[in-house]
Amino acid sequence: AEKNLILAFETSCDETSVAVVENGTKILSNIVATQIDSHQRFGGVVPEVASRHHIEWITRCTDQALAEANVSYDDLAGVAVTYGPGLVGSLLIGVTAAKSTAWAHHLPLIPVNHMTGHLYAARYVGEFKYPQMALLVSGGHTELVYMKSEHEFEIVGETRDDAAGEAYDKIGRVLGVNYPAGKTIDEWAAKGKDTFHFPRAMEKEDNLDFSFSGLKSAFINTVHNAEQRGEKLNKYDLAASFQQSVVDVLAEKTMRALDQYPVKQLILAGGVAANHGLRSRLEHDMQKYHPDVTMLQAPLKLCGDNAAMIGAAGYMDYEHGDRAKLDLNAEPGLMY
Ligand code: KG4
Ligand code: ZN
């Protein structure tokens, strides 16, 4: 079979990443340079700092991705790049790198949506079957996406306020956990119990939307009130209670979505898809309520932002004939 190698760029937020992917299913290299250290002292991503990092790292990451994959520009079939959604200054670095590469080496330029990219991280564990439902949970998004086919996306449910990952990061700050807090809270949750019973917003409502700001406030109030009483609460139980609330709502709404939209497959992807509580809860619920629907969970290592997922989505777009011209611009608010 023909080998189509895609060079992929991802710079939408605070990871500079370049990958070489074969036929959208095999990772030859996936370099991820994280800037977390530079943002931690600010408690979040500082856009200006992020852009500067991307500029500094993008060439090194590209050289390394090609070297590790042992390919040259002549071997490539195309260049894929995230052009939105994300931070405009960050996106522009990847878009400019991809355009320069495409122009200099006469390669097709393939524009990729960051959220489609997250979805395609799951493509590395199995073939996609349609119709399909996806639970996409990241630092900026929490949504249920119904896909009739490869290019027909419909958001059937979404958060009305904070994204799930954002809620993790905000309550993490109250517990003194560095940004991004999700991974640590997840680890703490495994050591505690749901003793606080925080609210589960909209859980029983007949829609597919989410809300996490009430949970966040309830959590913060509980911690602050205890502090005022001079009481120190068990951080493991706090984490477990918070996580149970998030997981309950995400799982409940996902099952509801599958009741309403008959699909062949459920995809779990995005940074928060790395959550152990969420992964095992969905495995349990799918077996119990939707045993005929197969689930593909993005591999742990590909849940966070990375260029391999952009290469997988880019290959699908490439096969579909999607091409951008050299006037491609970053689109920070891009929808599907
Ligand atoms: O997809 P991602 O890397 O970046 C965005 O596109 O937003 O997601 C990052 C988010 C952060 O909010 C981080 O705290 C969260 O994913 N996260 C987790 C876990 N690992 C990362 N949240 C819960 N549990 C985890 N294990
Ligand atoms: Zn992301």
Structure confidence by residue, pLDDT tens digits, 172-203: 999 999 999 999 999 999 999 999 999 999 99
> Which residues touch 313 (CB under 8 Å, ≥6 apart)?
24, 80, 112, 113, 116, 117, 119, 120, 123
Based on the fold, state whether residues 154 and 293 are members of the same structural domain: yes
Q: How many CA atoms lie within 13 A of 275 on its CB side?
A: 35
Stretch 267-291: mean pLDDT: 98
Q: How confident is the model at residue 45 (pLDDT cuts 50, 70, 90)?
A: confident
305 is in an annotated binding site: yes
Residue 204 domain flag: yes
Domain that residue 73 falls in: 5-120+303-320
135, two tokens: 């639970």
Based on the fold, state whether residues 92 and 70 are members of the same structural domain: yes
Residue 333 domain flag: no
Please tell me the predicted confidence (pLDDT) of residue 109: 98
Ligand 1: atom nearest CA of 246 is 23
The reply to whether ligand 1 has any atom less than 6 angstroms from the CB of 186 is yes
Looking at 123-231, which runs of residues are DSSP E strands?
Answer: 132-137, 142-149, 152-158
Q: What are phi and psi of 172, to 5 degrees?
A: -60, -40
Please tell me the predicted confidence (pLDDT) of residue 218: 98
Q: Say if residues 3 and 18 touch (Cβ distance below 8 Å).
A: no
- Distance in angstroms (rounded) separating the CA atoms of residues 244 and 240: 6
> Which residues touch 278 (CB under 8 Å, ≥6 apart)?
137, 246, 247, 250, 251, 268, 272
140 is in an annotated binding site: yes
233, two tokens: 């609460």
290 is in an annotated binding site: no
Structure confidence by residue, pLDDT tens digits, 1-37: 689 999 999 999 989 999 999 999 999 999 999 888 8
Residue 327 domain flag: no
Which CATH number fits the domain that encloses residue 316?
3.30.420.40
161 pLDDT more than 80: yes
The reply to whether ligand 1 has any atom less than 6 angstroms from the CB of 85 is no
Based on the fold, state whether residues 247 and 170 are members of the same structural domain: yes
Please tell me the predicted confidence (pLDDT) of residue 1: 64
The helix/strand count (H/E) of the chain reads as 10, 10
Q: Say which residue the tokens 């970053």 belong to.
A: 330
Please tell me the predicted confidence (pLDDT) of residue 2: 83
Ligand that comes closest to the CA of residue 243: 1
Q: How far is CA 107 from CA 27, 80, 99, 279, in A?
A: 20, 10, 9, 39
Q: Say if residues 139 and 86 touch (Cβ distance below 8 Å).
A: no
- Top mutation candidate among 17, 82, 138, 171 for ligand 1, by most atoms within 8 Å of CB: 138
Please tell me the predicted confidence (pLDDT) of residue 35: 82
The percentage of residues in the chain with a pLDDT greater than 90, rounded to a whole number, is 92
Residue 212 domain flag: yes
Please tell me the predicted confidence (pLDDT) of residue 38: 81
**Prior bond of 180 cis (ω within 30°):** yes
Overall number of domains in the chain: 2
